[in-house]
Amino acid sequence: MYAPAHFSAGDAEVRELLAGCDAADLVTSTPQGLIATFLPILFDPSVGEHGAILAHVARNNDQWREPAAGESLFIVHGPDAYVSPSWYPSKREHGRAVPTWNYLTAHVYGRLVVHDDPAWVESMVRRLTERHEDGRAEPWSVDDALPAYIAGQLRAIVGLELVISRVEAKAKMSQNRPEADRAGVVEGYLAEGNTTMAEAVRDA
């Protein structure tokens, strides 16, 4: 990943991104070429030195059957949005401004472990479900479904665990612009109702 020093993301920022991410792109290299699948994920910081990303795929998805050549990769996406040059006070001063894009992303590399084990898969699915049902007025539980039905659904998926070896992350949030321009970007995002990006630029 191309990540100039002024756009580098710190360890705490990366951990927060991984813990808060709901889905990511799994990319593996196989003898047939690259394969990619967008998957719901969980970050488990207790695995190994750097943690692990847990997921599952449909059994009919051949990606889990293809042996990965070397490392596998999850591409994790944080908030992102367009930046208009009209938000920069400096644009009105000298006109030297062009559009750009602000974003937070991480490339998470590691060894991909396949878990074709119903107990492991069920545990991961329960954790994933509890994460997304937490806080709902009437949260759904795996136990709300018939056991035979759940057993059949679990047989149709396979668990995946990326044991993280390294992370390359980039937080491009207008850090390369003068302070007045950064303030203009924050105001621009707020005017569009994008408080997430406004806060990200303000905090960068």
Domain containing residue 57: CATH number: 2.30.110.10
Token pair of 191 as six digits: 């005017």
In the sheet with 42-44, reading across from the earlier edge strand, the strands are 33-40, 23-30, 72-83, 100-115, 157-172, 52-58, 42-44
State pLDDT tens for residues 171-200.
999 999 999 999 999 999 999 999 999 999
Residue 81 binned pLDDT confidence (cut-offs 50, 70, 90): very high
**Dihedral of the alpha carbons of 66, 64, 167, 43, in degrees to the nearest 10:** -170
pLDDT value, residue 39 = 98
Rounded distance between C-alpha atoms, residue 25 and residue 202, angstroms: 28
- Whether residue 106 lies inside any domain: the answer is yes
pLDDT value, residue 42 = 97
Token pair of 111 as six digits: 């060894």
E runs forming strands in 50-147: 52-58, 72-83, 100-115
- Whether residue 142 lies inside any domain: the answer is yes
* C-alpha distances in Å from residue 201, one per residue of 27, 118, 162, 194: 29, 43, 30, 11
Rounded distance between C-alpha atoms, residue 52 and residue 187, angstroms: 37
Cβ proximity of 158 and 114 under 8 Å: yes
pLDDT value, residue 31 = 85
Number of domains composing the chain = 1
Reduced to 3 states (helix: H, G, I; strand: E, B; else coil), residue 120 is helix
Rounded to an integer, the average pLDDT of 164-168 is: 96
State pLDDT tens for residues 92-113.
888 788 999 999 999 999 999 9
Average pLDDT, the chain: 94
Residue recorded with tokens 């559009």? 99
- Whether residue 89 lies inside any domain: the answer is no
Residue 32 binned pLDDT confidence (cut-offs 50, 70, 90): confident
Give phi and psi for 67, each to the nearest 5.
-65, 125
136 residue type, one letter: R
- Whether residue 67 lies inside any domain: the answer is yes
pLDDT value, residue 124 = 96
The secondary element (H helix, E strand) that includes residue 2 is: none
pLDDT value, residue 2 = 86
71 residue type, one letter: E
Rounded to an integer, the average pLDDT of 122-134 is: 96
Percent of the chain with pLDDT strictly greater than 90: 85
pLDDT value, residue 52 = 97
Token pair of 24 as six digits: 């990511």
- Whether residue 132 lies inside any domain: the answer is yes
Which residues form the domain of 26?
5-84+97-173
pLDDT value, residue 188 = 97
Cβ proximity of 166 and 109 under 8 Å: yes
- Whether residue 178 lies inside any domain: the answer is no
Say yes or no to pLDDT of 67 above 90. no
- Whether residue 195 lies inside any domain: the answer is no
- Whether residue 104 lies inside any domain: the answer is yes
State pLDDT tens for residues 48-62.
899 999 999 999 999
Nearest Cα to Cα of residue 143 among 118, 120, 126, 121: 126
23 residue type, one letter: A
Token pair of 86 as six digits: 């009209």
Say yes or no to pLDDT of 69 above 80. no
